[in-house]
Amino acid sequence: MQVPRGSLVAAAALSVALLGCGSLRERSEAGVTFPPVKATYDLTGRLSARHAAEGLSASYRWHHDRDSDELELASPLGQTLAQLSGGPAGVTLRTADGRIETASDWQTLTSRGLGWPLPVTGLSYWVQGVPREGAPFVVEPGDAGAPGLLRQDGWTVVYNAFAADRDGVLRPSRMTLSYADVEVRLVIDEWQ
């Protein structure tokens, strides 16, 4: 299956957006209770992304640790599209066709690959159901005290569904992010 280069880079950058770490403690805002931020976790799931006229669908496996991240993207048929890895010392993208791209940080890599930055730091919090630490935000409550909608850094995050992780903590299982002409739909199949 031939994947357009722009779509592959978009998928890689969107998946990279899942990367990062945080240290928020459980707290409550506007009737919403935020769960504690995990420093280490593994996620598996699916994503679809649309930027202007381009679109992409992929599955992902993501291992996040305090100082490093490893992510693999695969086509719906299971073919590896890209592998991403890195940490504070730099980040690397390897595509299925052998192309390697590097940058000093995730934000630079996504800006260069897509022509627009992704909220890498924010998404590392948002995927856990919490706002990014140290930045203003607006939150609207959803069901059972979980966030229903979060606005931060110019992005709108709609939490469509939650499921319990291995520790019994409610975490997002489906969410939609939008900013200008970018829309990202994430499905998290498993938290570990």
Enumerate domains of the chain plus CATH numbers: 5-187 (2.50.20.10)
Hey, which residues does 186 pair with through a beta bridge?
Answer: 47, 175
Percent of the chain with pLDDT over 70: 79
Q: Is the pLDDT of residue 19 over 80?
A: no
- Quote the mean pLDDT of the chain: 80
Residue 147 in this model has a pLDDT that exceeds 80: yes
Q: What is the pLDDT at residue 117? A: 57
pLDDT digits (tens, 9 = 90+) for 81-123: 888 888 888 888 888 888 888 999 877 776 665 555 566 667 7
pLDDT at 36: 92
pLDDT tier at 59 (50, 70, 90 boundaries)? very high
Q: How far apart are CA 138 and CA 132, in angstroms?
A: 11
pLDDT value of residue 7: 53
Query: Mean pLDDT lowest for which of 74-88, 131-145, 175-189?
Result: 74-88
Q: Residue 62: its pLDDT value, please? A: 86
Give the global pTM.
0.79
pLDDT classification of 4: cutoffs 50, 70, 90:
low
Q: What percent of the chain has pLDDT over 90?
A: 31
Mean per-residue pLDDT for 1-23? 47
Mean per-residue pLDDT for 69-75?
Answer: 87
Separation of alpha carbons 112 and 131, rounded Å? 26
Kindly indicate the confidence band of residue 1, based on its pLDDT and cuts at 50, 70 and 90: very low
Q: Does residue 162 register a pLDDT over 80? A: yes
The phi, psi pair for 173, rounded to 5°, reads -120, -20
Decide: 27 and 34 in contact? Cβ < 8 Å: yes
Report whether 137 contacts 121 (CB < 8 A): no
CA trace torsion 129, 158, 168, 27 (10° rounding): 40
